[in-house]
Amino acid sequence: MQTQADAAQIQQIADELAAAKRLREEAAALLVEYEQKRVAAEGEAEGIIAAAKDEAVRMTAEAQVALTELLTRRTKAVEDKIAQAEAAAVAEVRARSADVAIEAARAVLVQEMPRKAGDLVEKAIGDVASRLN
């Protein structure tokens, strides 16, 4: 026969088993919930990583385009400066050539005028006389 103490002890054990079963079920439910949250967090992290990689690729492409444009502009500026320097050098050479030619012509005229001046004057007088007649 069971005594009341035995029945109370059996009931206490049954209550403890029920509480343990309830705790086990709650723990299992929490484990499932946390596993779902972990999977969702991993998915979100993968999405963030993929977005960051896409952004890095986009930024790299933009930087490459910007660098190419910068190099093109700088190359054009240097080419323009070279062309200006060449044009200035050509103009300076032409100016110096003209100065040298003028100086050479003056020197020739200075040397030749005394020798040919008489002939030129006589020819000019002859031309004037023939035109007047």
pTM listed for this prediction: 0.47
- Does 124 reside within a domain? no
- Does 47 reside within a domain? yes
Helix and strand element counts for the chain (H, E): 1, 0
- Does 12 reside within a domain? yes
Integer Cα distance of 23 and 30 in angstroms: 10
- Does 132 reside within a domain? no
- Does 133 reside within a domain? no
- Does 13 reside within a domain? yes
Q: What is the pLDDT of residues 23-62, one digit of tens each?
A: 999 999 999 999 999 999 999 999 999 999 999 999 999 9
Which residue in 98, 123, 8 sits closest to 131, CA to CA?
A: 123
Residue-level pLDDT at 118: 67
The domain total for the chain is 1
Q: Range of 12's domain? A: 1-108
Q: Amino acid identity, residue 58?
A: R
Q: What is the pLDDT of residues 110-130, one digit of tens each?
A: 777 777 666 766 777 777 767
CB atoms within 10 A of CB 89: 10
